[in-house]
């Protein structure tokens, strides 16, 4: 590994540690949060001053893996003592719930799409199933959109793009997936034939997912805009 790559890797780990410290101190009293962040910065300074690049990276990785639980226990203790900004804490909890819900829904949407793609490709490969080329292409494209959207969603910088991609996938992927599973899967055929109104349920799920993702997208953009104004 080149020196440049080593330096980039170390810088990425340091940014990760600082980002984590900012995350688990959110909603706490300003003085408490600042003291903790200064403590983390001091630890990082000591480590960078007295360790070589390899030792520093190992130390940072060990801290991330072993220290996260202690950090969360520290946060819990501060909250138990009442060292919090109530309004900010409620806002962060709301944000965690909304973003966590969208993340879970986006993850399962992507996993479901991948499952359908695997079944379709397997059926074509083994049985030579005659499926609509446009339907197969659409499901592959929407699954790629859902997967890429979920990955972008995990990065705050690209979160809006990720949600837009998941909205696009949610608008049609469930219905198209059921259409293809009806052909390639005996279980899908039986479910479609024996569950009354299944097509309406799936259509409702598509609409519901799209509305949830769109609502959170609007909330996220408003929140980011407000955050930028505070720092101007």
Asked if the model's pLDDT at residue 108 lies above 90, the reply is yes
End-to-end CA separation in angstroms for the chain: 40
Region of 52 on the Ramachandran plot (φ > 0 left; ψ -120 to 50 alpha; else beta): beta
Report the share of the chain in percent with pLDDT over 70.
Answer: 85
Asked if the model's pLDDT at residue 231 lies above 50, the reply is no
Taking the C-alpha atoms of residue 116 and residue 144, their distance in angstroms, rounded to an integer, is 12
Dihedral sign for Cα 107, 108, 113, 117, please: positive
Lowest-confidence pick of 3-12, 66-75, 121-130, 145-154: 3-12
Of these ranges, 65-69, 144-148, 219-223, the one predicted with the greatest mean pLDDT is: 144-148
Which residue would you say has higher pLDDT here, 200 or 6?
A: 200
Taking the C-alpha atoms of residue 38 and residue 52, their distance in angstroms, rounded to an integer, is 22
Taking the C-alpha atoms of residue 228 and residue 232, their distance in angstroms, rounded to an integer, is 6
Asked if the model's pLDDT at residue 161 lies above 90, the reply is yes
Taking the C-alpha atoms of residue 39 and residue 47, their distance in angstroms, rounded to an integer, is 12
pLDDT tens for each residue of 138-150: 999 999 999 999 9
Taking the C-alpha atoms of residue 129 and residue 122, their distance in angstroms, rounded to an integer, is 9
Q: What pTM was estimated for this model as a whole?
A: 0.64
Which one, of 22, 16, 14, lies nearest residue 75 by Cα?
A: 22
pLDDT tens for each residue of 110-136: 999 999 998 888 887 777 667 778 888
Q: HEC states along 185-208?
A: CHHHHHHHHHCCCHHHHHHHHHHH
Asked if the model's pLDDT at residue 1 lies above 50, the reply is no
Taking the C-alpha atoms of residue 35 and residue 109, their distance in angstroms, rounded to an integer, is 41
Phi, psi for 84 (deg, rounded to 5)? -135, 160
The reported pLDDT for the residue numbered 187 is: 77
Q: How many CB atoms lie within 10 A of CB 95?
A: 15
Mean pLDDT, residues 1-23 taken together: 71
Radius of gyration for the chain, computed over Cα atoms and rounded to the nearest angstrom = 23
pLDDT tens for each residue of 170-219: 999 998 888 888 887 777 778 777 888 888 888 898 999 999 999 999 98
């Amino acid at each position: 590994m080149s020196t440049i790559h080593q330096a980039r890797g170390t810088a990425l780990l340091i940014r990760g540690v600082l980002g984590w410290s900012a995350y688990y101190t959110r909603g706490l009293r300003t003085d408490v949060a600042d003291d903790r962040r200064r403590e983390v910065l001091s630890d990082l300074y000591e480590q960078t001053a007295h360790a070589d690049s390899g030792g520093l990276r190992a130390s940072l990785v060990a801290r991330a893996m072993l220290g996260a639980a202690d950090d969360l226990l520290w946060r819990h203790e501060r909250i138990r003592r009442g060292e919090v900004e109530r309004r900010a804490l409620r806002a962060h909890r709301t944000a965690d719930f909304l973003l966590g819900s969208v993340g879970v829904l986006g993850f399962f949407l992507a996993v479901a799409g991948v499952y359908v793609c695997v079944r379709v490709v397997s059926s074509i490969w083994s049985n030579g199933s005659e499926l609509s080329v446009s339907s197969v292409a659409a499901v592959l494209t929407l699954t790629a959109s859902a997967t890429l959207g979920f990955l972008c969603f995990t990065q705050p910088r690209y979160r809006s793009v990720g949600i837009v991609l998941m909205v696009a996938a949610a608008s049609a992927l469930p219905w198209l997936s059921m259409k293809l599973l009806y052909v390639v899967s005996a279980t899908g055929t039986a479910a479609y034939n024996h569950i009354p109104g299944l097509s309406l349920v799936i259509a409702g799920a598509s609409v519901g997912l799209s509305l949830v993702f769109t609502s959170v997208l609007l909330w996220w953009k408003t929140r980011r805009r407000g955050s930028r104004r505070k720092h101007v």
